[in-house]
Amino acid sequence: MQKNNPFKDAPAAGSNVKNNPLAVMPHERAAGWKLFFKTVVARAYPRIVGQQREKSWIFFDIFLPMLAVSAYVFVYRAIGAPEEYVGFVVIGGAMTAFWMNIMWSMSSQLYWEKEQGNLALYIMAPNSMMAVLLGMAIGGMLATFLRALAIILIGSLLFHVQYTIISFWQLIAVFFAAMTALYGMGMMSASLFLLLSREADHFAQLAQEPVYLVSGFYFPIKSFNFWVAAIASIIPLTLGLDAMRQLIFATGASLGFLNVTVELTILLILCVAFLFGARALLGYMERLAIREGRLTESRR
């Protein structure tokens, strides 16, 4: 007697599994730009959500910069400085939020991930490290933008700052060029901070006040010697702040370091330089980690 074969109705190897309702379709893997975009969204999401869970951070991130802004405003008014300097201080105080986001949420990020044991997972994952850092930047930039906007609104109302926008489109172009260059610088410095290992936090603390000074957060950099201001322009916020002040204050052009068009051109050059530098350094770090089988230590 011939036995019944329970597998006789099973689809043959190589047949079209789409016609079989019981077959499990293989999951399509993202690659290329699709994988890059998904990685950016995945890393931005927890930062955007996380900002809503700790409301006290929002208060202190607005209140503490306003203390520094108020101190400079009172000093300028006490010595009889031009009223435009009050507006310079308000804009500079708002932009400090972006610098702090770069220093603590991007530059130090890979070092913190290494300390928490997550960096090895980022290295092994098929996605780009630039996509990981870009997602972190976008997620942090949204909250940072809202805080900077709040500082501008509160400072403008408290100190009666008057704005005269000369060119809206140039202002938008300068802002996005400065942010792109700044976050490219943050991506590039993330690899350098990882090389510094435990010294990363010390370097971030050490660089904070000197950057406030040379970038002209609270005064026009034209006050410096030309070559000092030119060297300070390697930090994108220096030229970004100077150009934005020229575009939103009536007498801003007379206190500007360079022409707005020239500063915008330099910012675009810095965008390209920092983004390519970030790509090269992050690629080097990945190759080093894969080749040696361990993450980079401070002695390197």
- Higher pLDDT, residue 203 or 243: 243
Question: Measured between alpha carbons, how far is 155 from 93 in angstroms, rounded to an integer?
Answer: 9
Question: Measured between alpha carbons, how far is 199 from 36 in angstroms, rounded to an integer?
Answer: 31
Question: Measured between alpha carbons, how far is 53 from 57 in angstroms, rounded to an integer?
Answer: 9
Residue among 130, 125, 133, 70 at smallest CA distance from 107 = 133
Please give the pLDDT value at position 299.
43
The DSSP element (H or E) to which 143 belongs, if any, is helix 129-159
Average pLDDT estimate for 202-219: 81
Q: Is residue 270 part of a domain?
A: yes
Split at pLDDT 50, 70, 90, the class of 293 is: low
Please give the pLDDT value at position 119.
76
Q: Residue 161 is encoded by which pair of tokens?
A: 């700052």
Please give the pLDDT value at position 271.
92
Q: Is residue 15 part of a domain?
A: no
**Whole-prediction pTM:** 0.77
Distance of CA 8 to the CA centre of its chain: 60
Average pLDDT estimate for 279-298: 68
The DSSP element (H or E) to which 136 belongs, if any, is helix 129-159
Q: Is residue 24 part of a domain?
A: no
Average pLDDT estimate for 15-25: 47
Q: Is residue 159 part of a domain?
A: yes
Please give the pLDDT value at position 148.
86
The mean predicted confidence, pLDDT, of the chain is 78
Question: Measured between alpha carbons, how far is 247 from 174 in angstroms, rounded to an integer?
Answer: 10
Which residues constitute the domain of residue 239? 55-290
Q: Is residue 162 part of a domain?
A: yes
Please give the radius of gyration of the chain, using alpha carbons only, rounded to the nearest integer. Answer: 25
Question: Measured between alpha carbons, how far is 178 from 238 in angstroms, rounded to an integer?
Answer: 9
Average pLDDT estimate for 214-223: 86
Q: Is residue 13 part of a domain?
A: no
The winner for highest mean pLDDT among 33-37, 137-141, 266-270 is 266-270
Q: Is residue 242 part of a domain?
A: yes
Average pLDDT estimate for 181-210: 76
Question: Measured between alpha carbons, how far is 112 from 105 in angstroms, rounded to an integer?
Answer: 10
Q: Is residue 17 part of a domain?
A: no
Number of independent structural domains in the chain:
1
